[in-house]
Amino acid sequence: MHKPFITALIAVALSFSACSKSGSGGSGGSGRFVSLADFGGAKIASEVGTVFAGFIDRVIPNVEHKYYVTVAAAMNALLADSVDALSIDMPIALYLTARDTNLAVFPYVVAEDKYGFAVAKGSRLGAMCNGALQKLEGGGAIEELEKIWFSADEERKVLPELNYRKDFDGSAGTIRYGCHRALFPMSYVTPDGRHIGFDIDLVNRIAYELNMTLEMTALPFSELLPSVLSGKVDIAGGSISITEERLEQVDFIGPYFESGAVLIIKKSRMPS
């Protein structure tokens, strides 16, 4: 599990903040949000199948939650003023707001979050993958992935050709991996059909460590856990938050990354 990067991410978000004594946000308004309390009564979007609504309800009262099948649809709703904010993980929020100057990350984290890869309860593969993950973490692989996938250099964002194991032949089997199709920069499909991203790079390295090949299937977020439960895939990933409720259904490889749940709003409604 890699923790220092969440501190840096929070620092980036807080750099947007400025002191102010009062706010006038709220549903359908054009006023500025100053604190998380100002989102009481607001309409907040999230992707179907995520747990952000639960995080929000713990700290903000009377939120009207709006659910969208894709992050892109939720973003469009925010830009059209159909909702006041979009709830999402910090790395994705920073990626999206860097590419749309009309939007910004609200400078207070709703909740800290931990990601894991979901596997079937009691899965031997899960235990094997956790061993491989610990080896990769000890060798500095997570820091290497952060430098690649959280950078502004798009040319670096390709899956590496792994060739450091002279005995690799893939004979230990194939991991069927269900991945999110549009969760930049963690897990997404390029226009030419390549599956790339932080999560995919990491699980590809885990498979390589186990002398296994990787077979990827892109899925909506809401289908990731059901696909593990039905046996359609062996592992599912896409910045999946590890929660007590989910642990009742599946086991997790990891956590491999710590992040934070945040809100994206229009820049015009940021603290002044």
Whether the pLDDT of residue 117 is over 50: the answer is yes
Whichever domain contains 86, its CATH number is 3.40.190.10
139 and 68, same domain (yes or no): no
Is there a contact between 37 and 16 (Cβ–Cβ < 8 Å)? no
Average pLDDT score over residue span 1-9: 51
Q: What integer best gives the mean pLDDT of the chain?
A: 89
128 and 95, same domain (yes or no): no
Average pLDDT score over residue span 58-70: 96
200 and 248, same domain (yes or no): yes
Which tens digit of pLDDT belongs to each residue from 181-228? Answer: 888 899 999 999 899 999 999 999 999 999 999 999 999 999 999 999
Residue listed under structure tokens 């006041």: 84
Whether the pLDDT of residue 17 is over 50: the answer is no
Show the domain range for 15: 4-113+261-269
Confidence at residue 20, expressed as pLDDT on a 0 to 100 scale = 37
Please state the pTM of the whole predicted model: 0.79
44 and 143, same domain (yes or no): no
Helix (H, G, I), strand (E, B) or coil at 46: strand
* Tally of domains within the chain: 2
9 and 109, same domain (yes or no): yes
Rounded Cα–Cα distance for residues 87 and 180 (Å): 17
Whether the pLDDT of residue 154 is over 90: the answer is no
Which tens digit of pLDDT belongs to each residue from 79-108? Answer: 999 999 999 999 899 889 988 999 999 999
245 and 119, same domain (yes or no): yes
Is there a contact between 81 and 28 (Cβ–Cβ < 8 Å)? yes
122 and 248, same domain (yes or no): yes
Cis peptide before 185 (omega within 30 of 0): yes
145 and 170, same domain (yes or no): yes
Report residue 29's pLDDT band, with 50, 70 and 90 as the boundaries: low
